[in-house]
Amino acid sequence: MLLAAIWGASFLFMRIAVVEFGPIATAAMRVAIAAAFLWPLLLLRGQGQKLRQHWKPIFTIGLLNSGIPFALFSFALLSITTGLSAVLNATVPLFGALIAWLWLNDRPTTSRSLGLAIGFLGVALLAWDKASFKPDASGYAPGWAVLACLAACLCYAIAATATKRYLTGLPALVTATGSQLGATLGLALPAIWFWPTTPPGVKAWLALLALGVACTGIAYILYFRLIEQAGPSRALAVTFVIPLFAVFYGVVLLGETVTGWMLLCAAVIVCGTALATGLLKLPVRQRRT
């Protein structure tokens, strides 16, 4: 619940920061602050040597797992609500199951296949409601924002599968720190190019600080501890709780509205994801002998 509350707040802080920093600079500063926070912890644990030995795959996966999706979500929040973006973020396990099937030949069962179909149906229904590619009052088209969120979720899923294949056995702190360093290096030049001409205000800087330290640095530590103590399947349950906090923060602090259609689609997506990941299973009728 604590991890879901922190990650749910990340959409709020991104929404505040991106207005003044822009998507690329927001993502770059977020991972840079997280790297600066995690690096001393890595050195105190004496794990710097392991990072040097495996820096190439870690840095590459970090760009795919943090840099690119953070920029995509930041862009999306310019035109859609934090609640909607968080609901779309809940599709990560769906993409994860699909990538594991295609890449690792982890063929899903009938129950999981049905979950994939239900989950992507919910995504299609939700995306159809926001399918306009004409700029709205924000100056951006919500249709592109929805596609950006789904592309970010696909990046998360590919990175998770790549981590399982290439980084198994490495300490969680090494992977977390190295991924943020890799994302920082990958976004450095684009961030300089797209750095805002008007100096951002104190509020935007504080939002970035919260994003980097709490929503990325501390959140990664909690997440990997959760995997270690409860297992990956139970840790995955955090994905279902994040939208609740994100919607709550958006309504209370940003004055956003939640439609009945969005709640219905969210329920369909969560049910499909629970089936696709094996957290929810269909009853199997046993034959009598």
Ordered alpha helix ranges (H), the chain: 2-21, 23-44, 48-53, 55-62, 68-76, 82-89, 92-103, 110-129, 142-166, 172-193, 202-212, 219-230, 232-235, 238-254, 260-276
Least confident of 18-27, 187-196, 247-256, 273-282: 273-282
The pLDDT of residue 134 is above 70: no
Encoded tokens for 205: 């800087």
The set of residues, in sequence order, having a beta carbon less than 8 Å from that of 124 and lying 6+ positions away, is none
Q: What is the rounded CA–CA span in Å between residue 156 and residue 96?
A: 8
Query: Is 286 a domain residue?
Result: no
- Across residues 142-160, what is the average pLDDT? 88
Residues in the chain: 289
3-state SS, 62-76, equals: HHHHHHHHHHHHHHH
- Across residues 222-241, what is the average pLDDT? 67
Element housing 225 (H / E): helix 219-230
| Best-predicted range by mean pLDDT (29-33, 95-99, 135-139, 216-220) | 29-33
Query: Is 288 a domain residue?
Result: no
Query: Is 254 a domain residue?
Result: yes
pLDDT digits (tens, 9 = 90+) for 239-266: 777 888 888 888 888 888 878 887 888 8
pLDDT digits (tens, 9 = 90+) for 165-181: 888 788 888 988 999 99
Apex 116 CA angle, 63 and 216, nearest 5: 30
Query: Is 133 a domain residue?
Result: yes
Query: Is 252 a domain residue?
Result: yes
How many distinct structural domains can be found in the chain? 1
Give residue 288's pLDDT band: very low, low, confident or very high (50, 70, 90). low
Top-confidence residue, 130 or 48: 48
Give me the domain span that covers residue 271: 2-276
Top-confidence residue, 91 or 281: 91
Query: Is 283 a domain residue?
Result: no
Q: What is the rounded CA–CA span in Å between residue 171 and residue 44?
A: 14
| Best-predicted range by mean pLDDT (87-91, 202-206, 246-250) | 202-206
Assess contact for 111 and 281: CB atoms under 8 A: yes
